[in-house]
């Protein structure tokens, strides 16, 4: 049984399912800040001046913890679960299937996963999540750890204690870049301390060799992790894809939407249910609000998406059907070409 994400601070912040892991990560930050300031900074104060040696580390540490906390406390784009089946079944709900020698019809409840979602004149292939009872927009996936569907789910990150998705992907990139920045500083002063002590023949250095080695090892791991994660995610944003789509080698969510809008007059699969819940006026109204964000002016679709998605309201406490509509409108508005 997975632990439910919890809203706090009047719904403005969210505690993820792996909050303990996030808390431990913050403790590690503080530990290295104390270690580097107390044991390494005294040996490099003559090189960087005492003000920089003793103050820059704690300042960077506080800054990086704050940046790292942004994706942890922001709703990644959870969609609420509905206790009611999305499409109630009755005896007339049957769909034709190819002849297999057994039966010419099958109950929709047996194969109700694939549907067509009609929005803004386009028919987009979609998936019905039988756990959450909602029709997921392109890019949304169900996270088994959190027990919810997440818009544009990239991956579940235990270090930030929650998923990385539609609303917090931008903050995740900032947080990982902050890790690399802070660890680069710790690595720099640790190596500098060793060089200074060797040049001066300072024997006092050997009394603190263990803290210095710990700083070097930890900072090397942090630099590798932070730079690798931030760089790889920037690359995926540049290609307007996600980690899940890349690993599974599936069509990107943006390509699904773009293809659907380019083939508006295409024929529909007669065996799939067509969902038409969004009125054109409702769609246009929400899109008009989205366009008011300055970040929407970004020409690159990937960066426009992650920078504008930060302003989408949390849907976690919305009515499931209403949340589904808003999720579809935001996803389509930030991925289609002709808007």
pLDDT of residue 100: 32
Local structure of 239: helix, strand or coil:
coil
Q: What predicted TM-score, i.e. pTM, was given to this entire model? A: 0.86
pLDDT of residue 18: 81
Torsion angle of C-alpha atoms 95, 89, 4, 322, degrees rounded to 10:
90
Tens-digit pLDDT profile for residues 323-339? 999 999 999 999 886 65
Task: Calculate mean pLDDT across residues 81-106.
Answer: 52
Q: What percent of the chain has pLDDT over 90?
A: 35
From 219, 239, 259, the end of a domain falls on 239
Q: What percent of the chain has pLDDT over 70?
A: 86
What pLDDT band is residue 94 in, cutting at 50, 70 and 90? Answer: very low
Same domain, yes or no: 210 and 195 = yes
Q: Where are the alpha helices (DSSP H) in 110-201?
A: 169-200
Rounded distance between C-alpha atoms, residue 320 and residue 86, angstroms:
10
Q: Is residue 233 part of a domain?
A: yes
Query: What domain range includes position 265?
Result: 114-150+246-335
Rounded distance between C-alpha atoms, residue 214 and residue 31, angstroms:
11
Number of domain units in the chain: 2
Lowest mean pLDDT among 227-241, 256-270, 285-299: 256-270
Tens-digit pLDDT profile for residues 139-189? 999 988 888 899 999 999 988 889 999 999 999 999 999 999 999 999 999
Contacts of 282 (CB under 8 A, 6+ apart): 325, 329
Local structure of 266: helix, strand or coil:
coil
What pLDDT band is residue 102 in, cutting at 50, 70 and 90? Answer: very low
From 239, 263, 290, the end of a domain falls on 239
Q: Is pLDDT of 197 > 60?
A: yes
């Amino acid at each position: 049984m997975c632990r439910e994400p919890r809203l706090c601070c009047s719904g403005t912040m969210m505690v993820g399912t792996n909050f303990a892991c996030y808390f431990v990560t913050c403790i590690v930050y503080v530990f290295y800040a104390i270690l580097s300031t107390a044991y390494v900074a005294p040996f490099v104060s003559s090189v960087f001046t005492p003000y920089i040696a003793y103050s820059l580390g704690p300042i960077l540490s506080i800054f990086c913890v704050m940046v790292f906390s942004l994706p942890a406390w922001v709703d990644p784009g959870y969609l609420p679960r509905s206790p009611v089946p999305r499409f109630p079944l009755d005896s007339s709900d049957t769909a034709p299937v190819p002849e297999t020698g057994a039966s010419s019809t099958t109950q929709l409840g047996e194969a109700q996963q694939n549907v067509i979602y009609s929005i803004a004149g386009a028919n987009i292939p979609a998936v019905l999540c039988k756990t959450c009872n909602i029709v997921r927009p392109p890019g949304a996936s169900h996270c088994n750890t959190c027990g919810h569907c997440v818009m544009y789910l990239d991956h579940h990150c235990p270090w930030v204690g929650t998923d990385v998705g539609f609303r917090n992907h931008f903050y995740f990139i900032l947080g990982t870049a902050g890790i690399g920045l802070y660890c680069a500083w710790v690595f720099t002063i640790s190596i500098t301390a060793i060089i200074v002590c060797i040049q001066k023949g300072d024997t006092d250095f050997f009394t603190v060799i263990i803290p210095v080695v710990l700083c070097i090892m930890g900072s090397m791991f942090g630099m590798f992790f932070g730079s690798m994660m931030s760089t790889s995610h920037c690359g995926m944003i540049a290609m307007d894809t996600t980690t899940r789509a890349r690993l599974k080698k599936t069509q990107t969510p943006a390509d699904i939407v773009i293809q659907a809008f380019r083939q508006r007059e295409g024929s529909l699969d007669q065996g799939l249910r067509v969902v038409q819940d969004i009125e054109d006026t409702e769609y246009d109204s929400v899109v008009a609000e989205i366009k008011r964000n300055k970040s929407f002016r970004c020409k690159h679709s990937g960066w426009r998406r992650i920078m504008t998605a930060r302003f989408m309201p949390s849907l976690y406490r919305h009515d499931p059907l209403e949340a589904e509509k808003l999720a579809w409108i935001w996803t389509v508005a930030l991925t289609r070409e002709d808007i």
